[in-house]
Chain A
Amino acid sequence: MSLLSLTNMQTQIGEYHVLHDVSFDVSEGGVFVLLGRNGAGKTTTLRSIMNMWTPSKGSVKFRGKDISQMHTSDIARMGVAFVPEDMGIFGGLTVEENLVLATASGSFDPQRLERILELFPALKIFWNKQAMKLSGGQKQMLSVARAIIEPRDLILIDEPTKGLAPAIISGMRDAFAEIAQNTTILLVEQNLPFALSLGRDMAVIDDGHVVHTGSMKAFAEDNELQNTLLGLA
């Protein structure tokens, strides 16, 4: 049984956030990449999974249970974490407070925290600083750290490399590769090299429809498919 399974999901929020028919299965472990042009519906898909925008039709099954009508907070409590495109950092709170809020008990698992701070050393330096003082890359790290501060089954990450410097992106890739050893990541990405280096399975979404699903390996080797689906020159 797959971890997450979307079947004919439809969502309509305003004029610009429309999904017509989204179906794909994410199996347990590794990175599943959702590719597509700007405005194709990738962010809408992630938000619909979290029920931040409620799908009007179709089903969203997490471990076999339909979560499409569940409250966002309950979905989160089932072990789904969300790293939004704008990172969703609480700027007025310190780095520590941001992380504390993401724990269920209010206290850290010391080993886990230590490992996260090794992955993202900047967070240690700014531990007691307000998060709004962090750079864009550091905020992204904090947002990802918040998602993994507790063991989760599924992490939804929306375009983590957007606007980041190449050096930071490569560090981010290593971090994701390590995280994906113990959990499943559903990654929305426009940066193709980044996606190719991480992904195991993938889907392409265009104009609110899923137009392709398959393994990343096959997709990586098929330049023609890449061109037709992503319109890359």
Chain B
Amino acid sequence: MISKRIEQLGGVFLLPVAIAALAFVLIGAPASWVTLTIAGLSMGMMIFLMASGLSLVFGLMDVLNFGHSAFVSFGAFIAASVLTWSAGWLTSDSIALNVLALMLAIMAAISFGLLAGWFFEVVIIKPVYHDHLRQILITMGALIISEQLILAIWGGTPLSVPRPEFLEGAVIWGDVSIEIYRVFAFLVGAVIYAGLYFLFKRTRIGLLIRAGVENREMVEALGYRINRLFLGVFVLGSALAALGGTMWAGYETLISPALGSEMMIVVFIVVIIGGLGSIEGTLLGALIVGLMGNYVGYLAPKLALASNMLIMMAILMWRPSGLKPAVK
């Protein structure tokens, strides 16, 4: 009876709401809670960008790409470099120049993601379709190489990331202070999610991708080349990861080469929690991890990473395929 009611209200999608409600009670201070919730949501959206590609690629082709986080870190570093070069525009009073510099950085990161994703799929992944063991090993090798390349190109010291002037600062609203950048990051993620949702639900390509995730062979028997579709999804996922890296760089304002491997753990936890192959699941997992990270970081700072681990274990015991996996 109760479970049916919960199902009607949104089922597992209520989980982030429940977490937020519980945190409200535990934190006790509404102003801090609002700040943390906004931080958590924006962090969740950025993680969603990074994780969605990994989840789709796995869902569609059963390919697990351990090198996925390389797109995130390259995206972050490329954007940081572009922003540093255009520092004059960033500090300018003209919002148009601010936006232009930001757009340049984003475009650079996304273009890199597209190109590198294409290269990665064709050269690294294609020879090892259907062979999980070698996939894991080879993509891991690629991850090592890309981390070393970042070290070789940008050096080992942390890089500071300038933000455009119009995204600096916070809006104060009573006791509540809301950082503008966080709202911006949230909005970017939300727009991308809406775009993906539209793509999947309303377009033929999206339909094909959803069908391919379920039954690759049948899609081919209906006359479609799934490998081309897969290349497209891989490239799109890589570009989104690079965009996620860009947003993350602006959020952290100081990035180090370890960023990729740190985010990889978070991304893995997100796709495991959410269930592989669906963007709804990935969004759900990302929001849960983002919110938990901020709440626990406030309540018990030392437990932040372990809390993600615990929630992953708990969810796996409850639902072994994650909260909202694609239909298989």
Contact = CB atoms under 8 A, between A and B. Distances in A.
B60 to A, nearest CB: 13
Given A52-B217, A100-B204, A106-B204, A92 B225 contact: no
Interface string B218-244: 111111111000000000000000000
Interface residues of A, number: 24
A63 B68 CA distance: 46
Interface string B181-196: 0000000000000000
B99 interface: no
A76 B210 contact: no
Nearest to B201: A97
A71 B226 CA distance: 11
For the residues of B in contact with A, the DSSP-based class is helix
Interface in A86-116: 88, 90-93, 97, 100-102, 104, 106
A100 B223 contact: no
A81 to B, nearest CB: 8
A66 to B, nearest CB: 19
Nearest to B225: A73
Contacts of A212: none
B310 interface: no
A84 interface: yes
B221 to A, nearest CB: 4
B220 A73 contact: yes
Interface residues of B, number: 19
Nearest to B217: A52
A91 B210 CA distance: 10
A77 B223 contact: yes
A76 B214 contact: no
Most buried by B among A52, A97, A101: A101
A93 B220 contact: no
B221 A100 contact: no
B222 A102 contact: yes
B327 interface: yes
Contacts of B15: none
B326 interface: yes
A84 B223 contact: no
Contacts of A101: 204, 207-208, 211, 219, 222
B220 A72 contact: yes
For the residues of A in contact with B, the DSSP-based class is mixed
A92 B204 contact: no
B177 interface: no
A146 interface: yes
A132 interface: yes
Contacts of B148: none
Interface string A43-65: 00000001010000000000000
A82 interface: yes
B253 interface: no
Contacts of A106: 204
A77 B224 CA distance: 8
B215 interface: yes
B210 A88 contact: no
A81 B207 CA distance: 19
Contact of A92 (B210, B218, B219, B220): B210
B210 to A, nearest CB: 6
A73 B218 contact: no
A84 B217 CA distance: 10
Contact of B210 (A73, A84, A90): A90
B231 to A, nearest CB: 15
B211 A82 contact: no
A28 to B, nearest CB: 21
Given A100-B204, A101-B208, A91 B327 contact: yes
A73 B223 contact: yes
B249 to A, nearest CB: 35
A73 B224 contact: yes
Interface of B: 204, 207-208, 210-211, 214-215, 217-226, 326-327
A-B complex: 6 closest residue pairs judged by Cβ atoms: A92-B327, A76-B223, A88-B218, A72-B220, A82-B221, A90-B211
Given A73-B220, A74-B223, A90-B215, 4 more contacts: A82-B221, A101-B207, A101-B211, A106-B204
9 contacts: A71-B220, A74-B223, A76-B220, A76-B221, A90-B211, A90-B218, A90-B327, A91-B214, A93-B214
